[in-house]
Structure formats: structure tokens, C-alpha cells
Structure 1
Amino acid sequence: MQWQGRSVRRLTGGRNHPACGKRRYEHGRAPAETHIGENKSRIVRVRGGNTKVRALRLNVASVSNPATGETKKSGILNVEANPANINYVRRNLLTKGAIITTDLGRARIVSRPGQDGVVNAVLIQ
């Protein structure tokens, strides 16, 4: 569990004396870190009683072709580039903005697999 409240330290390095302690609404969770593999997901309850689908592993993407407007399911082969982190390419992590190689060609991920549970991508010409 991660705490996402205000830091105990100030920018100068001095100590901040908070008026209140940690609150439950300030806690966060570890990232999903979606890999390429056989489909595996987890349902997580979020604030307000809603749910999110955390994709832990995925091997299929819905790839959209902007030229024709068609969307087809395609297998994910590997991750080519990832502007979020260079090391994600080596680990084959799927995040928004990552460039992936699919059966239909190169595509950029436009969805958030760790939050939506699916990979939606757009073909790159």
C-alpha cells in the first residue's frame, strides 16, 4: 500500500508538522505492470464502490486503422518502444503510449491496460 499524501519534509529539507495524520483516501496501490502473456486480470474495488479491471497479462489488442476506420482484434508480439520508461521495453510492459508490434503491424496503445483491462491501439503508418 502506498501513501500519496503530503510529504513530512518541506522543499528546503526541514520538517513539516502536519495538523492531521494519514487518511484512507490518501492511500494508493501498486501499479498493475501489464505484461504480454495469457490473459489474466483482477477486479479491484475503488472509491465510491465502483470497480476497475486490472489487466495483469494480455496477448490480444483491439487495433484500429485510422485510414479505413476499421477495428480488428490482433495478437501482441512484443513492445518496440515506450516513452514512459526505457526499461519497460526490455520487460515487455504494456502502458499507454507504448509502441507495440501486432499481427497487423506497428501500433500505439491509446488505452490504459492497468485501469481498463483491455489494450486499444491505433495503427502507425
Structure 2
Amino acid sequence: MKKEEVPQDKSFFREEHGKELCYAVDDKGNYTTALSSGWEAKTIALDNALKAIEERIADAKKRVLENKTSPIEYYMEVCKMEPAILASYVGMWQWRVKRHFKPSVFKRLSQKTLRKYAEVFDISVERLKNIESTDI
């Protein structure tokens, strides 16, 4: 697309993060960079992705409050991670991380293991262990 045709629609980038760098063709036919505040199709896709993430976080919150999962799963969702990524950050096998989602297993985790999770989530062990409905 030509540099003067780079979309400048209202979008996620304008509201939250400034502008996005794109490539365009200048008057001489050379590739150059241009700033875009976004375009409708991209805005719709990003909005849908963010809504899906918010739904996953809300579902995890509900499951923690119902004692169906541990706070580890909730914080994993808040940090936009998946079990494989979380497992790599805490240095454990993925099956162990998934096992720690069980409230009965979570209650028996060592301080060392809880510290690993808390460090990855950038919270205190106390907050990880004593999650309140107002915290989430």
C-alpha cells in the first residue's frame, strides 16, 4: 500500500500503545516505514482476542472461588501463559504444573515450589496462598 493509504482508524494501538510501525511504498516506489493507528479488521481481531482472554481469567477466578482449581491456574491466565510456558519458567514438567492446579495438591506444595510460582507471577507467596475474592 502507498504511504498515504496507511490506515489511521481508531484502534487498540491508538488508545493503549501509540502507533504501530508498518511498511509502505513512497512516491518513488521505494519501501519505507509509516506509522498506523490501526485498521478496522485488526481492531476487531484484537478485541475478540482480548475478550477471550478476559473470559478465561473470569472462568479461572470462578473455579478458584469454588475450590475447583488452585490459584496457580488463575495467575497463569492473568499472566497470559499456558501450562507449557509456565512449566518452562518454573523449571518443572508440564504434567506437574497441571497437577498443581488441584486444590488438594496445591495445599501441600513446599515453600520452595510456591516461591518459584510467586516469582514467575511477580507476587508474594502469601498472596498466592491466601487468595481472597477481592484479590481476583
* TM-score, reference length from structure 2: 0.27
- Higher RCO (C-alpha 8 Å, min separation 6): 1
Report which of the two structures shows the higher radius of gyration computed on alpha carbons.
2
